[in-house]
Structure 1
Amino acid sequence: MNTTRLAVFSPLDSTGRVDAVVRRLADAIALGLLSDGEQLPSEAELAGRLGVSTVTLREALMALRQQGMVETRRGRGGGSFVRVPAELDLGIHLRTFAVEELRDLGDHYAAIAGAAARLAAQRSLPSDLAPLWRSLAEMADAESSAERRRIDGRFHIELAAASQSARLTREEIRLQADIGPLLWLSHDEVGGHDGVAAQHRAIAEAVQQNDGERARALAERHVLDAIDLLIELRLRVQE
């Protein structure tokens, strides 16, 4: 199991609340870390991996079924299966954020992205970086904005996974679910796909060259540039 999936299925904090399980799995589904139609582990196995009781897990799966993100089938070949929801209307979603909230999220995200990139440069092996280069190649060939957004999110999660920190990887997953698609919306607006691709490549190259401080600075700048563009867009759609 790769580092990203280990983060998805790693134990939750000791509270083990239903909403924490729902959030963990819903984020993984929304970001494509769990594929449409993929069968989840059995209830007993999944509860064990997440460090929660089977009762807590069943309540969480029920909530995910109500949200249309999980389908449960009975009988032979049955179990719980992932259902990826339809795309959000990102313009409407953007209006739910105040400018101050976007700025605060951006500061937090830049700190997480920078720390992950620095550690990835210090700790990663060549095999850890192969997913980054594959995602960059796939993004260059992507034919739609929705596909580019999914690959962009995966690139950042793979970068965090290369840091060898499960906690940073989980936080990257959470932030991608909160704001990742909106960051790409700002690039769509200004036609900045080539610039984003160049920033991604520069970050990957700094990590590959074991230049932790450069990787950190590039990752932070990448996030903050996107936040600045997103805030400009948010101001234009003020109610």
Structure 2
Amino acid sequence: MTGTEPGNEAGTEAGTAGARSADRLTSVLRPVRAGNGFEEALEQILQVVRLGLVPAGGRLPAERELAERLGISRVTLREVLKVLQDQGLIESRRGRYGGTFVLPRTDAGGEDELRRRVAAVDIEDVLRFREVLEVGAAGLCAAHGLGGAGADRLREALDRTRDAPLGEYRRLDTLFHLTVAELCGSPSLAARYAGVRASVNELLDCIPLLVRNLEHSQRQHTALVEAVLDGDADGAREIMREHCAGTAALLRGFLT
């Protein structure tokens, strides 16, 4: 029998489309930073899908190639792909013409509603302002030092986020970050932060809760508290900057 078997035409065409798009991926897929590997890898592959660099029905590069391009392990990559599969954006197929394929979008009003919810928000402005305030607050807490009561408040806020039910995590996470802002010694900064955090939470409510991201955030919270209580201002600022960057990567990936 010559030519392409009818049952394999879709797989062959999808594979060809994936090959044609490979050169266009260079501008999007790049090695991620070690601190936020999962979040930044997810952001980049979401960009590939949402920008249509691999069209619906097209095949993403093989796992080995994706992992090498992103500079992450195959284990981390599979966790990223699992998130995208759970969101109905891709599917994995086995067999000779298998691989990871981009699924057609089924809007049903969801995407339009999402656009309406974020249309009035300047996402980049919110994320940058949030980073300035949070990094500054963390540095001030560490530089000025926390008394016994302040240190206890910070530890208690951290403890409440540990083993929190999934549905409660974002609320307790918000309270932890508000505590850092309130303890920095600047009521003006704390008030501004409360406002920007409300905007951040509206954006976070538009994206799924990802267990891998929450576990990573919790490790960063713990490191931040240790740096603050040790009086390590530079360390506290750097940890908070990296923490904000991880959240920003997820929000940009899902919402922009």
Q: TM-score, normalised by structure 2?
A: 0.51
The CA deviation string for residues 84-105 of structure 1, in whole angstroms up to 9 with x for no partner, is xxxxx9x956753259921221
> Equivalent residue for 2:233?
212
In structure 1, the gaps of 5 or more residues are 1-88
Tell me whether 1:179 sits opposite 2:184 in the alignment: no
Equivalent residues of 2:126, 2:199 under 8 A apart: no
In structure 2, the gaps of 5 or more residues are 1-109
Matches within 5 A, 1:92-171: 95-97=116-118, 101-123=122-144, 124-145=146-167, 147-171=168-192
> Equivalent residue for 2:252?
231
* Cα separation, partners in 2 of 1:114 and 1:221, compared to 1, 3 Å: same
> Equivalent residue for 1:46?
none
Equivalent residues of 2:141, 2:228 under 8 A apart: yes
Equivalent residues of 2:134, 2:181 under 8 A apart: yes
Once the 2 structures are TM-superposed, how far is the Cα of residue 117 of structure 1 from its aligned partner?
0.5
What CA distance in whole angstroms lies between the structure 2 residues aligned with 1:122 and 1:152? 23
Equivalent residues of 1:120, 1:207 under 8 A apart: yes
Farther-moved stretch of structure 1 (157-166 vs 120-129):
120-129
Please, which of 217, 222, 242 is the counterpart of residue 196 of structure 1? 217
Once the 2 structures are TM-superposed, how far is the Cα of residue 142 of structure 1 from its aligned partner?
1.5
Matched position secondary structure for 1:188: coil
Equivalent residues of 1:202, 1:218 under 8 A apart: yes
Residue identity matched to 2:245? L
* Cα separation, partners in 2 of 1:94 and 1:106, compared to 1, 3 Å: farther
What CA distance in whole angstroms lies between the structure 2 residues aligned with 1:105 and 1:121? 24
The CA deviation string for residues 27-46 of structure 1, in whole angstroms up to 9 with x for no partner, is xxxxxxxxxxxxxxxxxxxx
What CA distance in whole angstroms lies between the structure 2 residues aligned with 1:119 and 1:188? 30
How many pairs are equivalent?
145
Residue identity matched to 1:158? T
Equivalent residues of 2:133, 2:193 under 8 A apart: yes
Q: Answer with 1 or 2: which has the greater Rg.
A: 2
- Structural RMSD (CA): 2.7
* Cα separation, partners in 2 of 1:153 and 1:100, compared to 1, 3 Å: closer
Equivalent residues of 1:110, 1:221 under 8 A apart: no
Q: TM-score, normalised by structure 1?
A: 0.54
Equivalent residues of 1:121, 1:207 under 8 A apart: yes
